[in-house]
Amino acid sequence: MSAPTIAAVLAGAKAMGVDRLDAQLLLARALACPRSWLLAHDDASLDAPQAVRVNADLLRRARGEPLAYILGEKEFHGLMLHVNANVLVPRPETETLVDWGLALMTGALARVPRPRVLDLGTGSGAIALALKHALSAARVVGVDVSPDALAVAGGNALRLGLAIDFRQGNWWDELGGQRFDLVVSNPPYIEPGDPHLLALGHEPRIALTADGNGLAALAAIVSGAPDHLESGAWLLLEHGRDQAAQVTSMLVERGFSDVRTLRDMAGQPRCTGACR
Ligand code: GLN
């Protein structure tokens, strides 16, 4: 292969329909240089192994694979997490859930010196790790049904030096009579026929879709919650932008109080939570 310049690679990426920033991030990794260096040296040439690697990466991106899977990492709430196709890519809207949990732990739950926190459907461990990182006194459990996801989560915890008790199980099934002060979850909530899924085809289906108009997982979590929450504990749930009313009804039906919904940074009603 001839030695293409950075400018030529970026022009090729554009022709493939790859976003310029994504192409620069893939180039920066292949060349092991900062993105700022690329900007000042667009006439520099790649060597053959670099060109082979960046072409393969650009092809994956052009086929719709998330950048996070190609780079193998994604930043979430200030932590750099390793990710692969066994876990949902952590999304910025989920930071709303983390911020809410943190506000409770330093507010209404501050009376509990070492709060017991549970992340149901932890995936990469993103929410559990972000909460533990911000509040080291918290005792955090992360549950996921997928052993492959738990391998990713466990690796992240080890690398970041954060002690989380990860367990395999379906929602509450393996938690026995344990009770928590704060339970958070970003469960699958997309309806299986939703056309939006076409753009998410590289991510694990099990982390995305739920039956019953996308509400089955949310319903399972809410219905098991009263048996696993201390009195005065909080349950915070991420959901689809059109599901706040249904999640609110579920919580009210189970006797929760202080039910409220928060919007994400895009202004969508994204998280609903309540107090037992
Ligand atoms: N928020 C994600 C999306 O719509 C879905 C995540 C989920 O189902 N929990 O892309």
Interval 49-77: pLDDT, tens:
999 999 999 999 999 999 999 999 999 99
- pLDDT tens digit sequence for 244-264: 999 999 999 999 999 999 999
Element (H, E) at 117: strand 116-120
Indicate which atom in ligand 1 lies nearest the CA of residue 93.
1
Under DSSP, the state recorded for 87 is S
Contact 250, 219 (CB under 8 A): yes
Indicate which atom in ligand 1 lies nearest the CA of residue 238.
9
Write down the pLDDT at residue 1: 52
User: Tokens in use for 147?
Assistant: 């052993």
At 204, give phi and psi (nearest 5°): -65, 125
CA–CA distance, 70 with 85 (Å, rounded to integer): 10
- 157: closest CA among 178, 136, 173? 136
CA–CA distance, 79 with 81 (Å, rounded to integer): 6
Q: What separation in Å is there between the alpha carbon of 52 and the centre of ligand 1? A: 33
Indicate which atom in ligand 1 lies nearest the CA of residue 189.
8
CA–CA distance, 15 with 245 (Å, rounded to integer): 44
Cβ of 100 less than 6 Å from ligand 1: no
Cβ of 243 less than 6 Å from ligand 1: no
Write down the pLDDT at residue 21: 97
Residue with the smallest CA separation from ligand 1 atom 10 is 200
**Helical segments of the chain, H only:** 6-16, 20-31, 35-40, 48-62, 67-71, 95-106, 126-134, 147-160, 211-214, 216-224, 244-253
Write down the pLDDT at residue 25: 97
Write down the pLDDT at residue 202: 97
CA–CA distance, 246 with 133 (Å, rounded to integer): 32
**Helical segments of 43-94, H only:** 48-62, 67-71
Cβ of 122 less than 6 Å from ligand 1: no
pTM of the model: 0.95
Under DSSP, the state recorded for 174 is T
Residue with the smallest CA separation from ligand 1 atom 9 is 188
CA–CA distance, 252 with 36 (Å, rounded to integer): 52
Q: What separation in Å is there between the alpha carbon of 213 and the centre of ligand 1? A: 14
Write down the pLDDT at residue 62: 98
Query: Which position has the token pair 């466990």?
Result: 154
Three-state DSSP class for residue 138: coil
Indicate which atom in ligand 1 lies nearest the CA of residue 214.
8
Write down the pLDDT at residue 3: 86
Cβ of 271 less than 6 Å from ligand 1: no
Under DSSP, the state recorded for 1 is -
Cβ of 197 less than 6 Å from ligand 1: no
Mutate to test the pocket of ligand 1, among 87, 96, 189, 203 (most ligand atoms within 8 A of CB): 189
DSSP strand pairing (79-82 vs 73-76): antiparallel
Indicate which atom in ligand 1 lies nearest the CA of residue 209.
8
How do the pLDDT tens digits run along the chain, 276 residues long? Answer: 578 999 999 999 999 999 999 999 999 999 999 999 999 999 999 999 999 999 999 999 999 999 999 999 999 999 999 999 999 999 999 999 999 999 999 999 999 999 999 999 999 999 999 999 999 999 999 999 999 999 999 999 999 999 999 999 999 999 999 999 999 999 999 999 999 999 999 999 999 999 999 999 999 999 999 999 999 999 999 999 999 999 999 999 999 999 999 999 999 999 999 999
Cα angle 177, 165, 138 (rounded to 5 degrees) comes to 85
Write down the pLDDT at residue 201: 96
Q: What separation in Å is there between the alpha carbon of 47 and the centre of ligand 1? A: 39
